[in-house]
Structures are given as structure tokens and as C-alpha cells.
Amino acid sequence: MLKQHRELNMFVCRIIEINEEARIRPSKIYQSFVAVAGSHCELSFYKKDVRNYMTKEVRNISEQDDAKEFGKYLLRMKEKNQNFFFELNLEGDHCIKHALWADVRSRAACEYFGDVVSFETTYNTNRYSVQSLIVLCSLNVQISVHHGLGVYLCKYNLVLGSFVGVNHYGQSTLLRCTLMKSEDIQSFKWLSECWLRCMGGKAPKGILTDQCASIQRATEVCRPTTIHRWCIWHIMKKIPNKLNGYKRHDKINQDMNHVVWNLYTKDVFDRNWNNFITKYGLEDNKWLFGSPYLIGSVYYAELYEDRHIWILIYLDHHFWAGMKSTQRSESMHSFFNKFITRNSSLRQFMKQYDNCLVSREQAEREFDAVNFHTVIPCAIKSAIEAQFQHVYTHEKFKEVQAQFRGKVNCITRSMHSTLGFTTYEVVEQVFYSTFNKGILCRHSLSILSFERVDNVAPKYILERWSKNIKRNWCFSRTIYANLHPSLRS
């Protein structure tokens, strides 16, 4: 077929664009056209024409068009619902320094599930070329749709950060996203202040992050009541790299794991840590046994100095909704990684952000249907178990049932009573366990059974795990602003 006779009509182009959004490879797209036509000979184009169109017309979005479309997207979202929130922080050269946004449904869910959040910035948009937006407006903070915008563009790499919480089904729920140019203290201060403005001054009770002293110091300044926790998994993963230069580094790795995971009290940890440092002559290793130090504008923290924000014995008395690591945020980034490539534009990223919200919303609706139309039978016919059965979601009720089964291994006896308070001793053969998921532990259940109590006080039944929770976010339907309006006409 001569080149002048080959063409992609409007219908074919639109099908290619739809398949591109679904991340279908050009060869698969072409084969689908062949299957419909019945033969290669029936098509007026070749496979390379499909590939060229995707490269030149779909992926190669001009910088100006990309920036304008992203700006229009934010404004359309705001026009559709005034509770859509976004803020932009601009640099002197009119480039975006930071951006944060939260859709209506996520803001409503944050009222109930924003008590403990995971924040992760390891998904770096250096993986692809991001077309960045510059928005000029007369407001200092939240942008209003009633003001004119001047849109300009420059290219630079951004770090994507996501705030993820745990809903009443134990699912990860995306609360908001941010794009950041740098990860210094001032950037995280801006982010913390922006969170407070978005949530009417309400800070999370706890936040899990990677080992980052810049976040730590920003949290101390802007959210002093928030408990900051480092992801212990990230720290332990760094051991081979940090200690690889030492003799017997494999043995060092093994012993450090023993010190970190096998402990009962703070004093035991301090003693074991110091013995570990002395045994291997690691007193000069700043990563293990030093004070925070500053490189440029970024603080780098040392493990022992900041043991109170990553060692379990210092943290497990706080409520963490079952989280010990930032794995939930990382799984959210893995979702984006399936659809975003090195050549993706910023507006393509926003499209996948919308897709993420759709999938999470659909998953929650499916769980709703199961929880409201099925019943998990009680395991031991306890009145207290039935109380949790009536209130908790299936996922959390199963955790309660696990504690009921575990209490058969507990031996309880009353020790003494003073001024109306009774001390009990519960004996169980267990090495180490923690109870910070907001689920009544088997030792408490054993005491209640010992005293023949058949009704739990309401304060022990957390509303955040209830299937009857006030579901304001469910009435906030996810609204999507069209990123390609001309293609829908």
C-alpha cells in the first residue's frame, strides 16, 4: 500500500486513544483492528502507523497544551464541587514548587480515617518526564475559580507523595496526593500546614514515613501533637548497604535484627544495642550511633538518637490501625507505576489518579454489599462476641474472633483490690505480641469472662471499625473532570 493511500480516520484515532489510556501496546491495538476487519488487507493502515500516531499525537503532548489542560482540570474539579481542595506553591521563576490536592470523597473519608496516615515519597517522577504547571493567581493559599489564571510552563522532575489511611474494612484509602520539587524541611512544613488548612486545623494522631529527619522536624513544628513513626522495614532494608564495608557484615546484620525485634522493655533494648555496638566496634558509625547531621538543607537522622520513632517498644502503646510500615503508600504507588511511563504527561498522571479513585470506590461498594447482606456466625456463642458481630465490619469482626479463640490459652486470676480497682494477672505462653489495632485483646476478654461480664462498654467498640459508621464520604460521589473534552464531542 502506497504511503499516500494510508490513513487513520477519526474513528480509528479515537480507538487508538482509548486503548492508549488503558495502556494497551500498539501491536495489540493493531491486532484488534485486524480481528474486526477480518484481514490485514482490509485495513487502510499498517501497524507502524498506529505506533507513529501514538508517539506523535497521543504521547507527545505539547508542553503548553499539557499545562493548560492540567490547569483546566483543577478548575473544572473545583467548579463541580467547591469542597475539592488544591493548593500550589510557586517559585520566583513562576514554576510549581509544591502542589497538593484532595477530592471531595477523600476529604470526607479523612474525617474518620485520617487519625493514622502513611506518607511515602519513594515514587519519584524522575521515572518519566513530567510537564509541570505554573499558575498565577491573586490568592495566597487556595485557588478560587473566580480568579483569572495565567498559565505558563517549565520542565522539571517532581517527587510524588501520597497520604494513605486505613478504612473500616482494613483497606488502604487514598486521602490526598502531593507533588514536591524538593524534600527539605521547608517543603515538609508547607505540606504540614497545607494539610491543616485542608482539614480545618485537625492533625493526624500518628504518621508513618520513611527515615527522614526533615519530615520529623517539620512535624514537630507544625503538628506537635502528632506521633511520628519511621518505617522499620525501610530501616532494616538499609543494613546490608550501610554496613557492607565491615568485616563479618553478615553476622552484624543478623545480630542487629535480633536486637531490634527481640525485646521486652526500653532498658533491655538500650543494653542490647550498646552491647551490639561494642561487640563489633561500631562506635564511629554515624548511621547507627550518632546525632542528626545537616547536608545542604536536608537533615539525616541517626538510628539510636531517634530510637523513639522506630523501635517497637517505644511506639506500640499508641494506636496505629495495624500499620508498622509505609507499605500501604507503596502499594498505591505501585498502582500508578502500572500505568505511568517515562513519556507520560502530567495530565495523563491525573487521569490515572482518577482511575485509582474509581477502583477504590468500587472495592468499598463491594465490601458494603457483603457486610450489609451477610452475617458471620459467632464462634463461641458469647454475648460480647455477638455485640461485636452486630457492630463491626466482617474484616474487623474476624480479628475479634481471633482474640476470642486466643483467650482459651489464658489463665486469669484476681490479685488484689484497692479503692475500687482490681488488679488481675493473665498468664499466657507467648513470646511477644502487640495490641495496638483498636481490637480488644484476648487478655481483656479473659478478664471479662472471669468476672462474668456479658456487655462491653461503648468506649471499647471503636466507631472507625463499625459498619454503621456515619458514611459522609459515600454520599460524596467521585466527580471526574474531563481531561480531553474535545475528544468526547
Q: What digits encode the pLDDT tens for the residues 310-345? A: 998 899 889 998 888 877 777 776 766 666 665 667
Question: Is 310 in the same domain as 240?
Answer: yes
Q: Which amino acid is at 223?
A: R
CA 241 remoteness from chain centre: 26
Question: Final residue of a domain: which of 308, 340, 363?
Answer: 363
- Which uninterrupted H or E stretch holds 71? helix 63-80
Task: State the number of CA atoms in the 13 A half-sphere of 219 facing the CB.
Answer: 20
| Closest by Cα among 73, 84, 168 to 476 | 84
Q: Which amino acid is at 149?
A: L
Question: Is 37 in the same domain as 74?
Answer: no
Work out the number of other CB atoms within 10 angstroms of the CB of residue 85: 22
Question: Are 270 and 259 a contacting pair, CB within 8 Å?
Answer: no
The predicted model scores a pTM of 0.76
* Domain-located, residue 282: yes
Report pLDDT for 356. 76
* Domain-located, residue 197: yes
Question: Is 43 in the same domain as 67?
Answer: no
- Better-scored residue on pLDDT, 293 or 194: 194
Report pLDDT for 192. 92
Count of residues making up the chain: 489
Give the pLDDT mean for 81-102.
Answer: 77
Residue 97 main-chain phi, psi, to 5 deg = -100, -45
Query: By percentage, how much of the chain surpasses pLDDT 70?
Result: 76
pLDDT of residue 41 exceeding 90, the answer is no
* Domain-located, residue 154: yes
Question: Is 52 in the same domain as 69?
Answer: no
Based on DSSP, count helices (H) and strands (E) in the chain, helices before strands: 19, 13
| Closest by Cα among 360, 361, 433, 349 to 159 | 349
pLDDT of residue 486 exceeding 80, the answer is no
Question: Is 75 in the same domain as 51?
Answer: no
* Domain-located, residue 284: yes
Please report which confidence band the pLDDT of residue 433 belongs to, taking 50, 70 and 90 as the band edges. low
3-state secondary structure of 351: helix
- Better-scored residue on pLDDT, 430 or 64: 430
Question: Is 160 in the same domain as 219?
Answer: yes
* Domain-located, residue 77: yes
Minimum mean pLDDT among 48-52, 411-415, 454-458: which range?
A: 48-52
Question: Is 171 in the same domain as 302?
Answer: yes
Residue 226 main-chain phi, psi, to 5 deg = -80, 130
* Domain-located, residue 458: no
Q: Which amino acid is at 267?
A: D
- Better-scored residue on pLDDT, 6 or 441: 441
Residue 35 main-chain phi, psi, to 5 deg = -65, -40
Q: What's the rounded Cα separation, in Å, for the pair 162 and 145?
A: 25
The mean of the pLDDT values for the chain is 78
Question: Is 224 in the same domain as 139?
Answer: yes
Report pLDDT for 57. 64
- Which uninterrupted H or E stretch holds 433? none
The x, y and z cell numbers of residue 76, run together, are 473544572
Question: Is 170 in the same domain as 227?
Answer: yes
- Total domains in the chain come to 2
Question: Final residue of a domain: which of 363, 397, 431?
Answer: 363
Question: Is 198 in the same domain as 283?
Answer: yes
Classify residue 286 by its DSSP letter. H
pLDDT of residue 376 exceeding 90, the answer is yes
The x, y and z cell numbers of residue 341, run together, are 511511563
Question: Is 196 in the same domain as 149?
Answer: yes
Question: Is 28 in the same domain as 80?
Answer: no
DSSP code per residue over 81-125? -TT-EEEEEE-TTS-EEEEEEE-HHHHHHHHHH-SEEEEE---BG
Instruction: State the residue range of the domain holding 52.
Output: 3-60
pLDDT of residue 296 exceeding 60, the answer is no
Question: Final residue of a domain: which of 340, 363, 386?
Answer: 363
Give the pLDDT mean for 104-121.
Answer: 89
Q: Strands, E, within 167-306: which ranges?
A: 172-180, 206-209, 227-230, 293-295, 298-300
* Domain-located, residue 451: no
Query: By percentage, how much of the chain surpasses pLDDT 90?
Result: 18
* Domain-located, residue 423: no
pLDDT of residue 474 exceeding 70, the answer is no
